[in-house]
Chains A and B, each alone.
Chain A
Amino acid sequence: MEAAQPKSVKHVPTLCYNCVSGPDFMCVKVVDGVATEIEPNFAAADIHPAKGKVCVKAYGLVQKTYNPNRILTPMKRTNPKKGRNEDPGFVPISWDEALDLVAGKLNAVRAKGLVDAAGLPRVAVSLGHGGTPSNYMGTFPAFLAAWGEVDFSFGSGQGVKCVHSEHLYGEFWHRGFTVASDTPNARYVIAVGANVDVTGGPCAVIRHADARVRGYKRVQVEPSLTATGACSAEWVPIRPKTDPAFLFALIHVLVRENGLAKLDIPFLRDRTASPYLVAPDGLYLRDPQSGKPLVWDEVSATAVPHDAVGARPAVAGSYRLAHAVVVDADKERREYSDVEGKTAYEMLSQHIDKYTPEWAETICDVKAETIRRIANEYLEAASIGETIVIDGQTLPLRPVAVTLGKSVNNGWGAFECCWARTVLAALVGALENPGGLVGTTVRLNKSRDNRHLSVKPGEDGFMVQYFNPTTKEEWQSAPSTRNLHQTLVPIVGHNGAWSQALGPTQLAWMFQGERPDDWSMPMPTLPDVWLVYRSNPSISFWDTKHLAEVAAKFPFMACVAYTVDETNYMADVLLPEATDLESTQMIRMGGTKYMEQFWDYKGVVLRQKAVEPQGEARDFTWITTELAKRTGLLEPYFGAINKGVSGVSPLKGKGYDFSLDPASEPGSEQIWDAVCRAATVTLSEGREEHDLEWFREHGFYAVPMSRLEWYLTPTMEKLGLRYELPYQERLLRTGRELGRRLHEQKMNWWDEQLSEYTALPEWHDVPGRWIRNLEKSGARIEDFPFWLLTTKSMQYHAGGNAAIEVMHEVAQNLRGHAGVIMNAKTAAGLGIAEGDRVEVRSHIGATYGKASLMQGIRPDTLVIIGQFDHWATPFAKTIGAPSLNTIAPMSIDLTDATGSGADIVRVGVRKVEGVAA
């Protein structure tokens, strides 16, 4: 104990990337070598939309550093038996022994071959939450690149529990891996489950706060009143998983009740496929010679190819064509004579006719008049015709957006929602225009740092796409990964780790147990070596009990460990990593990144060692370099680093060369010094070069960026490209091809998923899928009368925060944290009072927590915030919190065509006395 005057006080600039909404700036106050406080970094206030501030999570990092429950030496398992009830018997070992153990297993794999007899990689790597690990893992990506085939199939939730359909379809339609409202210019936002004031990070929070003060309107459509709903002008408590019906009805009001004349006709005509003529069989009518889709030219009153110069395509209507062809799956070509072609917009208009607000009311439990009013407010706020000047360029100003949240934009119904909201943007010209709906980054396409560069001309006047092939010749009939991403999900593509990680990762877990009866592919194997980094799937996935049982079967598992947790409980080796305040890495910042991280600047920021690592914890770049050395991969490892794999730009380029020589075995300092220099030289276009020492003092380096980079439409216009909306001919064809391939292999277990491949989405009783799944298991629906949902918490969110005492403490100021949120009236009917311990039971199990009664939740819905239910993680296991993950099943029935599911399950709830088992 001491209260003496400090001898030295430093404020060390660094960053927080605890969630996908980073990086944000902060300083660590270090007193006599001890980190004591987190502070904003106001030196970054002018370049950072959030003015140099970090959210609440960062304020837990001091405790994260000094948490006495940390693993501080390498450990090895002494109990060969694995399981939840088997004490692993971890004993401390030296770094040499630990690294030799891991390298030995890796070398054995290299000796046998990287791929096993089933064609699957022998090494699997699991990484946590939403790409955040890559912002902490130093040079590990270079090691992976040097290694070769790796299976990322065993996800911790990403790929299925993320905003999955938004990632896939967002990137497909408008290069929007994450999609946001252009909040700085927005006037009207319909947020369907998008909990941006919780998940969007400081940039989103300040922007929406500014927008509120400015007088924008946000309508929150969600079964419970989240913090974001609380901060919205209106809350629409929609029935869970009926969001597609609500959105379809909005389109109906725009298209059928307002009509084309009130929509953005130039945008629909020139930037979308609305004018493309569709044959009675649902395929585009094409020019027989060029194969290009045809449009009806109002000038010449003839059908002409979509890119005919001087044509004025008709957006609506039906037209008779003398001669045209269609191209079906597997390039099957059919000829048509004297055929009626309807424009794609016309198809949409007729399709949407039945989805009236009155119809939607019966599905969504939202009054038709409310739906109609919201649609009309949206249309009015779109202010079609208005313009804005940005950096001298006049662009349309369409300040409206529909944003989607988790479990709306993943799992069944998500395709429909993503389609509908993108169509809603297109109808008013708000897609990728100022004020409207913008994508912020790409991950399935390159370049990842500039989505504009990923836009290149492709087929049919659309931008290029890189689907996994479904042709007879190229379809991957024997999966190369355990989640079958190339086999089953064409749209996810094959662009490295991101495509893999966004495959149906629950299939990797499920198929280690049972497989469908008509499975005809090689049997999936377990990987010889499983590396886990910043990931705890035994807590964050579904059916976690079963998952932990599968994890216990892996033959060798090495985990980079912060504390003991539910996944590394099964590990053979634990490697203690230097954490946020103890380690060094340079990452990109600004530009346009996830969520609402689109800035007026772009640059790089250094996470630096503010204090010495605790115990024997080591910087991950050091760990990685040691592994590379012990596996004989130094040459390709540094080769990858030199290419820029782990940094932000290549270490050698025009006019500069900071490349590292593997022979000299450069240490971490040299690596990051070279990265710092290369980054600044490239960002400044050769004007400036700064080394690691400079960054340790200054923290970051930024250069201005035009806001024009926020919007894709000007780029599309420049390239003469159209958004592939509203009609989905490509998806229709792709689905047909995929179906043929699977059926040729005598497999029908993916047939239900194939139904999602439609040109215009239909409503298909989305919530009914969960009910049917329940009944199929033999359970009775009346025993499970409630929907259980989950929602995020800014305080816990990710980054191991459930083990951080101060985060738990401050989170308790908010309703429902670490409890079961339920409607107060419903609870009264069940004899449940505030704080009562309740059991929430699904057909696969039960979870327990304290009731938190609210008025702001539908009577038929329960919500559990976060994902806890820890049983091994110190501190977290003592908070007695429930988790949806414990009781939500993994099931093919609940997996959509992209491979994602949703955090929703039917449950019953009752009061229990005392502590339940």
Chain B
Amino acid sequence: MKNPILRAANLASPKQQRNWDWRAASNFIAGGAGGGLLLLTSLATSLAAGFAPEVTRSAILLGLMLIGGGLTCVWFEIGRPWRALNVYRHFSTSWMTREAVVALVLFSFGALALLTLHPVFVVAAGILGLGFLYSQARILAANKGIPAWRHPRSIALMVATGLAEGGGFLACVVSISSAALAAPALLALIALIAIRVWFWKAYLGGLVADGAPDGALRVLSGLDARFVVLGHVLPALAVAAALAGMPGRAGLAFAAGIMVVASGWFLKYTLVRRAAFTQGLALSRLPVRGRGPAGAATKPGWKVTPGTKTG
């Protein structure tokens, strides 16, 4: 990526990160959904009666493709792709290493699950899918340089949206295969939608309360209404309508699934790209220039209001 010369007036302020572009964002977008899909598929398979083998297979395949596709995108983004295997060198603290390890095991079990549909492998793939999703959430949260990511509530949000997207995908897969979605499954989807919106609101509220760069807050606040309505209210209504017996149940479930997935992806794209403002640089005190008082703190690009925690 280019390193454009920034204007001096903006140098200290938080800036949108420019190192992770759509390719890196795709890993979070697709991989997270894939992890969620694998988990929900395994849950459905083990807790409920399960789906027809081709439905389960399709879901697992889709999950693996999403994860694999995301990782491939990342591979194209990193500066030294031919040394990509070095990613495995720091399991003790790096969530990126852990993500890569999980991915490796996940693909092994995923492949076995795909081939055998043996419940053990399916469940293992599901648990690893969750692990992958969680690793991704922790990758973002470990980045202290991006306040919108490092907020502790971002982890729950990332997991919640991954699961909701997984649910959405599963609803789509099942709808297409014309297997009827049972009421508990539809209720589960509503629950996933409700959980995500709850964590979203908790995250946004926490971010506003704890402070974040103005740019990040502007972007995320601007997203709020659309995200809630299109990603939650409408799909929930569609699922509710299906539950209420409205004709075209499969279509409604499919539409709801798509809305949940699309909104989740939009959220993650926004979070990884547009709302990813850096910390910026700040002065806790302005220096004494010979004589007179030191100046108050300044933190360009942040609104510092009384009673607001900064940092």
Whether A and B touch (Cβ < 8 Å) is answered with yes
Report yes or no: B7 in contact with A812, Cβ–Cβ below 8 A.
Answer: yes
Residues from 214 to 273 in A contacting B, C-beta threshold 8 Å:
215-218, 230-234
Q: A809-B5, A812-B5 are contacts. A234–B292 as well, Cβ < 8 Å? A: yes
Q: Which A residues are CB-close (under 8 A) to B290?
A: 211-212, 215-218, 232-233
* Nearest CB on B from A240, distance (A): 23
Residues 260-293 of chain B: 1 if any A CB is under 8 Å from the residue's CB, otherwise 0?
0000000000000000000000000000111110
Does A89 count as interface, using CB distance less than 8 angstroms? Answer: no
Per the bound structure, the CA–CA distance linking A233 and B291 in Å amounts to 6
Does B9 count as interface, using CB distance less than 8 angstroms? Answer: yes
Q: Which B residues are CB-close (under 8 A) to A854?
A: 9
| Size of interface on B: residues with Cβ below 8 Å to A | 12
Does A720 count as interface, using CB distance less than 8 angstroms? Answer: no
Does B47 count as interface, using CB distance less than 8 angstroms? Answer: no
Does A545 count as interface, using CB distance less than 8 angstroms? Answer: no
Q: Which B residues are CB-close (under 8 A) to A217?
A: 290-292
Does A816 count as interface, using CB distance less than 8 angstroms? Answer: yes
Which of A212, A230, A233, A853 touches B9 (beta carbons < 8 Å)? A853
Report yes or no: B9 in contact with A852, Cβ–Cβ below 8 A.
Answer: yes
Does A741 count as interface, using CB distance less than 8 angstroms? Answer: no
Residue in B closest to A815 when the chains form the complex, CB atoms: B8
Number of A-B residue pairs at CB separation under 8 A: 44
Report yes or no: B9 in contact with A813, Cβ–Cβ below 8 A.
Answer: no
Q: Which B residues are CB-close (under 8 A) to A218?
A: 289-290
* Nearest CB on B from A813, distance (A): 6
Residues 135-151 of chain B: 1 if any A CB is under 8 Å from the residue's CB, otherwise 0?
00000000000000000
Q: Which A residues are CB-close (under 8 A) to B11?
A: 813
Report yes or no: B289 in contact with A232, Cβ–Cβ below 8 A.
Answer: yes
Report yes or no: B292 in contact with A814, Cβ–Cβ below 8 A.
Answer: no
Does A834 count as interface, using CB distance less than 8 angstroms? Answer: yes
Q: Which B residues are CB-close (under 8 A) to A215?
A: 290-291
Residues from 559 to 595 in A contacting B, C-beta threshold 8 Å:
none
* Nearest CB on A from B4, distance (A): 11
Does A653 count as interface, using CB distance less than 8 angstroms? Answer: no
Does A722 count as interface, using CB distance less than 8 angstroms? Answer: no
Does A817 count as interface, using CB distance less than 8 angstroms? Answer: yes
Report yes or no: B8 in contact with A812, Cβ–Cβ below 8 A.
Answer: yes
Does A615 count as interface, using CB distance less than 8 angstroms? Answer: no
* Nearest CB on A from B68, distance (A): 37
Q: Which A residues are CB-close (under 8 A) to B9?
A: 815, 834, 852-854
Report yes or no: B289 in contact with A817, Cβ–Cβ below 8 A.
Answer: no
* Nearest CB on A from B290, distance (A): 4
Does A835 count as interface, using CB distance less than 8 angstroms? Answer: yes
Per the bound structure, the CA–CA distance linking A449 and B32 in Å amounts to 76
Residues 281-311 of chain B: 1 if any A CB is under 8 Å from the residue's CB, otherwise 0?
0000000111110000000000000000000
Q: Which A residues are CB-close (under 8 A) to B10?
A: 834
Per the bound structure, the CA–CA distance linking A211 and B288 in Å amounts to 12
Report yes or no: B289 in contact with A813, Cβ–Cβ below 8 A.
Answer: no
Per the bound structure, the CA–CA distance linking A815 and B10 in Å amounts to 9
Per the bound structure, the CA–CA distance linking A813 and B8 in Å amounts to 5
Report yes or no: B289 in contact with A212, Cβ–Cβ below 8 A.
Answer: yes
Residue in B closest to A854 when the chains form the complex, CB atoms: B9
* Nearest CB on A from B204, distance (A): 28
Q: Which A residues are CB-close (under 8 A) to B292?
A: 217, 233-234
* Nearest CB on B from A796, distance (A): 14
Most buried by B among A218, A230, A233: A233
Residues from 195 to 218 in A contacting B, C-beta threshold 8 Å:
211-212, 215-218
* Nearest CB on A from B215, distance (A): 14
Report yes or no: A814 in contact with B291, Cβ–Cβ below 8 A.
Answer: no
Report yes or no: A216 in contact with B291, Cβ–Cβ below 8 A.
Answer: yes
Q: Which B residues are CB-close (under 8 A) to A230?
A: 289
Report yes or no: B291 in contact with A835, Cβ–Cβ below 8 A.
Answer: no
Report yes or no: A834 in contact with B7, Cβ–Cβ below 8 A.
Answer: yes
Per the bound structure, the CA–CA distance linking A816 and B289 in Å amounts to 22
Q: Which A residues are CB-close (under 8 A) to B5?
A: 809, 812
Per the bound structure, the CA–CA distance linking A853 and B7 in Å amounts to 11
Residue in B closest to A229 when the chains form the complex, CB atoms: B289
* Nearest CB on B from A878, distance (A): 13
Q: Which A residues are CB-close (under 8 A) to B6?
A: 812
Residues of A within 8 A of B (CB): 211-212, 215-218, 230-234, 809, 812-817, 834-835, 850, 852-854
A and B contact pairs by CB, cutoff 8 A, 8 listed: A215-B291, A216-B290, A231-B289, A232-B289, A233-B290, A834-B7, A850-B7, A852-B8
List 7 tightest A-B contacts by C-beta distance, closest first: A212-B290, A217-B291, A233-B290, A233-B291, A815-B8, A233-B292, A233-B289
